[in-house]
């Protein structure tokens, strides 16, 4: 079974319920991807830091129940996980509110166990992280991580970078652009979107956005249900299949796309077919509330990998 390491942050999630109430769960972009990868048959480990509190215990138990590996989760005495709240409008578009400045995950690159965690990346087939992951760490921590990713690639791992961009996580756009450039230069696979890149490079065309990414395997998801897959400089436009039910919540659409894409590539599919798989799973996820849909709502694996 192929092994995937997902690096990032999981937070306590509060999502809208009836009567102005909120229900509690957990989520985070790379954690969502890890869960969907596990459900699609990959051996996915989650790499992060949590506290020693009851909520962190609950997260660990929940990930284990989903089959996500937790051996490389650092536990920090006295720390807590971050918190976010989701509000959705009548079209399913979401708005996030975060409380995470002192969350345990932000310390991951500065711990006594950090060297061992980073050295372990070379034992995976794929290392996956997002721009949100990179926004958690200071400059020194990011450089440690990039150096570890280069070593992991030399050992045979493929680094997959998701451009998931949240402006509030960065001190300014110049820093974000610099970090994105470094990630693009190291990545084997880039999963991008116009939603993420246009705030960084306003008014640029799809071709111009793709030209900023030097890698051989790039997916650019568009504002309409479509994407462009670029392989060795050649673009392949791809339209998504129509969504079969009303869209109620777009949370984790990109995270599930990434999981299905990576899982399909690990199963031997080409990049275009992998992007089709990503669109299929995302089209199911947006028809359910919250980041992680019920297991019973997952489509059969054969329909996301064919």
Q: Give the residue among 242, 256, 240 at the shortest CA–CA distance from 291.
A: 256
CA distance 279 to 182: 27
Q: Residue 47 forms beta bridges with which residues?
A: 7
- Looking at the annotation, which residues are catalytic? 255
At residue 21's C-alpha, the angle toward residues 15 and 25, to 5°, is 35
Task: State pLDDT tens for residues 212-253.
Answer: 999 999 999 999 999 999 999 999 999 999 888 888 878 789
Flag whether pLDDT at 179 surpasses 70. yes
Tokens 């536990």 correspond to 75
Task: State pLDDT tens for residues 257-266.
Answer: 999 999 999 9
Task: State pLDDT tens for residues 59-79.
Answer: 999 999 999 999 999 999 999
Q: Which domains does the chain have, with CATH numbers?
A: 3-305 (3.40.1190.20)
Stretch 4-14: mean pLDDT: 94
pLDDT of 250 reads 83
- Which tokens hold the place of 69? 């590996």
What rounded mean pLDDT belongs to the chain? 93
Stretch 173-189: mean pLDDT: 98
Task: State pLDDT tens for residues 92-111.
Answer: 666 778 888 889 999 999 99
Handedness of CA 254, 262, 7, 172 (dihedral sign): negative
- Cα 45 off chain centre by: 13
pLDDT of 18 reads 78
In this structure, the strands spanning 189-193 and 158-162 are parallel
Stretch 176-190: mean pLDDT: 98
Flag whether pLDDT at 306 surpasses 50. no
Flag whether pLDDT at 173 surpasses 70. yes
Contact 35, 292 (CB under 8 A): yes
Task: State pLDDT tens for residues 123-134.
Answer: 999 999 999 999
């Amino acid at each position: 079974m192929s092994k995937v390491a997902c690096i990032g942050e999981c937070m306590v999630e509060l999502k809208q319920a009836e009567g102005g109430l909120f229900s509690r769960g957990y989520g985070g972009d790379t954690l969502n991807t890890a869960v969907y990868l596990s459900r699609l048959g990959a051996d996915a480990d989650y790499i992060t830091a949590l506290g020693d509190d009851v909520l962190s215990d609950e997260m660990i138990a929940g990930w284990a129940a989903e089959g996500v590996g937790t051996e490389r989760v650092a536990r920090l005495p006295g720390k807590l996980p971050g918190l976010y709240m989701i509000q959705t409008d009548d079209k399913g578009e979401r708005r996030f509110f975060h409380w995470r400045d002192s969350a345990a995950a932000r310390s991951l690159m500065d711990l006594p166990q950090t060297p061992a965690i980073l050295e372990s990346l070379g034992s995976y087939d794929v290392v996956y992280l997002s721009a949100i992951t990179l926004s958690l760490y200071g400059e020194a921590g990011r450089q440690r991580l990039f150096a570890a990713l280069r070593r992991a690639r030399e050992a045979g791992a493929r680094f997959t970078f998701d451009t998931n961009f949240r402006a509030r996580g960065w001190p300014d756009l110049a820093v974000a652009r610099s970090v994105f450039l470094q990630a693009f230069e190291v990545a084997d696979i880039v999963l991008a979107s116009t939603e993420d890149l246009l705030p960084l490079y306003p008014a640029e065309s799809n071709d111009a956005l793709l030209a900023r990414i030097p890698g051989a395997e790039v997916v650019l998801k568009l504002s309409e249900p479509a994407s462009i897959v670029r392989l060795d400089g050649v673009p392949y436009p791809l339209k998504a299949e129509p969504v079969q039910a009303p869209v109620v919540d777009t949370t984790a659409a990109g995270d599930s796309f990434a999981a299905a894409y990576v899982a399909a590539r690990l199963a031997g599919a080409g990049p275009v077919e992998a992007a089709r798989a990503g669109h299929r799973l995302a089209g199911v996820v947006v028809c359910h509330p919250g980041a992680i849909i019920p297991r019973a709502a997952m489509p059969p694996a054969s329909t996301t990998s064919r």
